[in-house]
Amino acid sequence: MAARRSTADILDAAVRVRAAARGASDGARGADAVLAALSEVVEYDHASLTRWDPVRRRHTTLAGTYPAGATAYIETRLHHDPVFQVLRGPGGGGLWLPDVPRHLLDASPGFRDVLRPLGIRDGVAQCLFAADGRYVGMLNVSTRRPRGAPDPARAAVTLLTESLAAAVDPGAGAGRPGGLSPRELQVLAELTAGRTNREIAERLYVTPRTVGTHIEHILAKLGLPNRAAAAARAAAWGIEAPR
């Protein structure tokens, strides 16, 4: 068994992941470099970095080492898995396998039919979000050997999510759509789900009046007549609300 690496070693490796992510704009080759660097942060048997396609409503693998069947599940079925609904929900983002409640694992085809036959006992599924709130992709890491505790790699993966999101987001660095603020983009995303001002307020922890003000600013900046038109514009940009 390999010697356990120190926290300092893992943080040094995380810096290399960030450097690889900054150079990942050349597509699959760049994503491969990111996964290779990530293996120094958290050892894995299988891993993948995927991009969410909002038009086709599926994931596209930029780099990965999973068998073909597992890759197909990640790309075309994972977003329907009960575990994914938790990941995409409010407060979601990342979930390590040992922390998933047993009832959720039992209901998950991804674990039951894909990971368990591979002998997977640990790892993380990490949703990746752009700064404007868009869901842009996912990191999946799986290992057959349980990880010990405390595990500094967990914190390192969390710290890397912003860089990983930028690596998979085709719109990274292009500026905020329509000149909207990050909060306005969050509200705009919520409009795509047809939510009321009160429902949006509850999800974003603000008042309905504040939501109304944001919507007024959104319509003015985009030159649109109503919230339905704003929702249509958001859908065209690939912006959608987390479930």
- What would the pLDDT profile of 72-100 be if each residue is shown by its tens digit? 999 999 999 999 988 887 666 789 999 99
d(CA 232, CA 191): 9
Confidence tier at 1 by pLDDT (50, 70, 90): very low
Per the CB < 8 A criterion, the answer to whether 88 and 242 are in contact is: yes
Structure-model confidence comparison of residues 63 and 169, the more confident one:
63
pLDDT at 27 over 70: no
pLDDT at residue number 196: 95
pLDDT at 55 over 90: no
pLDDT at residue number 25: 56
User: Cis before residue 177, ω within 30 degrees of 0?
Assistant: no
Nearest to 19 by CA among 44, 38, 45: 38
Mention every residue, 6+ apart, whose C-beta is less than 8 A from residue 156. Answer: 10, 11, 13, 14, 41, 42
The full set of domain ranges for the chain reads: 7-168, 177-237
Q: For 175-224, how does the pLDDT look when each residue is reduced to its tens digit (9 = 90+)? A: 567 778 888 888 999 999 999 999 999 988 889 999 999 999 999 888 89
Listed in order, strand segments (DSSP E) in the chain are: 46-53, 58-64, 94-96, 122-129, 135-143
Nearest to 21 by CA among 6, 40, 36, 10: 36
Structure-model confidence comparison of residues 90 and 33, the more confident one:
33
Q: Quick one: what percent of the chain has pLDDT higher than 90? A: 60
Highest mean pLDDT among 25-39, 60-74, 165-179, 184-198: 60-74
Kindly report the backbone phi and psi dihedral angles of residue 49, in degrees, each rounded to the nearest multiple of 5, phi listed first: -125, 120
Kindly report the backbone phi and psi dihedral angles of residue 58, in degrees, each rounded to the nearest multiple of 5, phi listed first: -160, 165
d(CA 224, CA 191): 13
CATH class of the 7-168 domain in this structure: alpha beta
pLDDT at residue number 169: 83
Token pair of 227 as six digits: 């919230």
DSSP string over 60-85: EEEEE-S-HHHHHHHHHTGGGSHHHH
pLDDT at residue number 5: 77
pLDDT at 11 over 60: yes
Highest mean pLDDT among 44-53, 88-97, 145-154: 44-53
Tell me which fold the domain 177-237 belongs to.
Arc Repressor Mutant, subunit A (1.10.10)
